[in-house]
Amino acid sequence: MPTAPTVPVVGGGRFPVHRIYCVGRNYAAHAREMGFEPDREAPFFFLKPADAVVENGATIAYPRMTGNYHHEVELVVAIGGSARDVPVERASELVFGYAVGLDMTRRDLQLAARDKGRPWDTGKAFDFSAPCAAITRKEEAGNINAATMRLEVNGELRQQSPLSLLIWSIDEIIHWLSLYFDLMPGDLIYTGTPEGVGPVVSGDTLRGTIGGLEALEVKIGR
């Protein structure tokens, strides 16, 4: 029997993963680079399987069935309580902690599905598509909304943005998500990526950082 996926917690312990939710187009500049004008319509979500999680320091095989494999660095919110229909003003009570994550994407498959009005699963919800650094508890993370997120590939800066530029804030994301799903301890929410997404190839090293959190580093294998 396969073991349940977990993510380390800074300072000790493990965080069992229940579900992985992702928010689409939550930075204006990234929405534009993907061909859309950003707005404040209700956010949309997609899911990845819990066992798509990859721990810090891992080497990820270049995935099959793609020739356009992209990085998307994101703030990950770890949920520590259960609730539904959460008011925005109480959403922060559900947060256990935060981590740096990557929403790895088979961009060619995602765009082909999008253009045909089909689900994104083959482009987004594949094996090893959700690297995640150790989770820093909320009370130890500082003011996460004032932090800046960065991604370097082989030491070259690819993505950088203040988290304050989220179209939908962390609390608003939790509120909206709880209207569609019963949130549970162990849920991870990947909150969206800024502009600068692009391809990676075998041999590349990716390093994501958010001030106050453990840095995430993974390598692309063959």
For 84-102, the pLDDT digits (tens) are: 999 999 999 999 999 999 9
Domain-by-domain residue ranges, the chain? 6-220
pLDDT tens-digit map of 136-161: 999 999 999 999 999 999 999 999 99
Q: String of b and e for 191-205 (b: at least 16 CB within 10 Å)?
A: bbbbbbbeebeeebe
Nearest Cα to Cα of residue 144 among 159, 161, 164, 160: 164
Task: Specify the pLDDT at position 132.
Answer: 98
Mean pLDDT for all residues in the chain: 96
Comparison of pLDDT for 1 and 111, the residue scoring more: 111
Q: Would the pLDDT of 194 be above 90?
A: yes
| pLDDT score for 12 | 98
Strand 148-153 and strand 69-71: the pairing is: unpaired
Question: pLDDT (tens digit, 9 = 90+) per residue, 2-40?
Answer: 788 999 999 999 999 999 999 998 988 787 887 887 777
Q: Quickly name the fold that domain 6-220 has.
A: Fumarylacetoacetate hydrolase; domain 2 (3.90.850)
Q: What pLDDT score does 51 carry?
A: 97
The fraction of the chain above a pLDDT of 90, given in percent, is: 90
Buried b (16+ CB within 10 A) or exposed e, 38-65: eeeeebebbebbbebbbebeeebeebee
Q: Which band of pLDDT confidence, cut at 50, 70 and 90, is reported for residue 113?
A: very high
